[in-house]
Amino acid sequence: MTKQSYKKFAPYLMLICLGFSGCVALENLDQLNELGDYSREKDAQHRNVKTINDHYDVLIKAIAKGNFSDYKDASSLVHAFGEPILKKDLGNGTQRWLYRYAIYRLAKDKVYVYFDRSGKILKWEKLPCQSFL
Q: What percent of the chain has pLDDT over 70?
A: 68
Task: With a cut of 60, say whether residue 25 has pLDDT above it.
Answer: no
In the chain, what are the domain boundaries? Answer: 3-128
Q: For the whole prediction, is pTM greater than 0.85?
A: no
For 131, what's the count of Cα atoms within 13 Å in the CB-facing half-sphere?
Answer: 1
The pLDDT confidence band at residue 6, using thresholds 50, 70 and 90, is low
pLDDT at 103: 87
CA dihedral 100, 105, 109, 110 (to 10 degrees): 30
Identify the CA nearest to 79 among candidates 119, 47, 43: 119
pLDDT at 15: 56
